[in-house]
Amino acid sequence: MTLEERIKNSTTSIFKAVFPNTTNHYDTLFGGTAMHLMDEVAFITATRFSRQIMVTVSSDRIDFKKPIPAGTIIELVGKVNHVGNTSLKVNVEIYIEQMYARGRELAVHGDFTFVAIDENKKPVQVIK
């Protein structure tokens, strides 16, 4: 399987409903909750790509473009965008969909870096 095929096959998409228990006093999704969900999707994407033990080592620039209101559906999409020797980067985007209307908008995007580790928690080569 080519690198491009592995990247395509590891792309991960998860849908969530935004309920009031995940929102702040402005009735929008907490930024920390959005980052938690993004890291989870990035982890799943990295693991699906490598089929190795992966750990988050950094998050690079998370941009909040639009608030995410309660009562909407969000789609989180993770895609590998760089493969290094022991690490890889995953871009995650969050899209907003109204529950009862068509269309969607990009709300948040960011990059997460993961390192492959062995059973002794030492970095190992990402299997390409």
Decide if 122 is inside a domain.
Answer: no
Which pLDDT value is given to residue 122? Answer: 97
Total domains present in the chain: 1
On whether residue 55 sits in a domain, the answer given is yes
pLDDT at 77: 98
Let me know if residue 41 belongs to a domain: yes
Consecutive 10-residue runs of the chain (128 residues): their mean pLDDT?
94 97 96 97 98 96 97 98 97 97 96 97 92
pLDDT at 127: 82
The whole-number pLDDT of residue 59 equals 95
The count of other CB atoms within 10 Å of the CB of residue 111 is 17
What does the alpha-carbon distance between residue 94 and residue 99 come to, in Å, rounded to a whole number?
A: 15
The pLDDT of residue 1 is 86
Residue 70 lies in a domain: yes
CATH no. for residue 105? 3.10.129.10
**Burial of 100: CB neighbours in 10 Å, binned 0-12, 13-18, 19+:** exposed
pLDDT of residue 80: 98
Residue 17 lies in a domain: yes
Q: Kindly report the backbone phi and psi dihedral angles of residue 16, in degrees, each rounded to the nearest multiple of 5, phi listed first.
A: -140, 150
123 in a structural domain: no
The whole domain housing 58 covers: 3-116
